[in-house]
Amino acid sequence: MNEDLSAFFGDLSVTASVVVGTSTSSAQVYFDSPSMMALGGLAVMDAPSVVARHSAGLVRGAGLTIGTDSFTVRVVERIDDGLLVRATLEAA
């Protein structure tokens, strides 16, 4: 499939630097910062994540930098038809 996804990555997306091995590239992503919520008297915090094009090359163990914050990709999941992915991150 060669669907043009540029309309999905407009004003609200940010540029991330993606490092896989010795290769560095940039990609437009939607960044979801972690949030904390109370469940049954406990504080639960979810992990930061990004949504990106599959072609961004996000893989487990890749480095990702958004602004001055650095992360490591933990998990990559395809969304719907696989043209988009959600990557769960951890602080590097």
Q: 24-29: long-range contacts at Cβ-Cβ below 8 A with a sequence spacing of 24 or more?
A: 25/56, 25/57, 27/52, 27/53, 27/56, 27/57, 27/58, 28/52, 28/53, 29/56, 29/66
As separate numbers, helices (DSSP H) first and strands (DSSP E) second, the chain gives 0, 8
- pTM for the whole thing? 0.83
The yes-or-no verdict on residue 1 having pLDDT over 60 is no
The mean pLDDT of 7-33, rounded to a whole number, is 92
What is the pLDDT at residue 2?
67
Tens of pLDDT, residues 30-78: 999 888 888 788 887 789 999 999 999 999 999 999 999 999 999 999 9
Q: Structure tokens of 23?
A: 């290769």
Exposure of 71 in the CB half-sphere (CA atoms within 13 A): 26
Q: What pLDDT is attached to residue 87?
A: 97
C-alpha distances out from residue 39 to 32, 35, 52, 85, Å = 20, 13, 30, 28
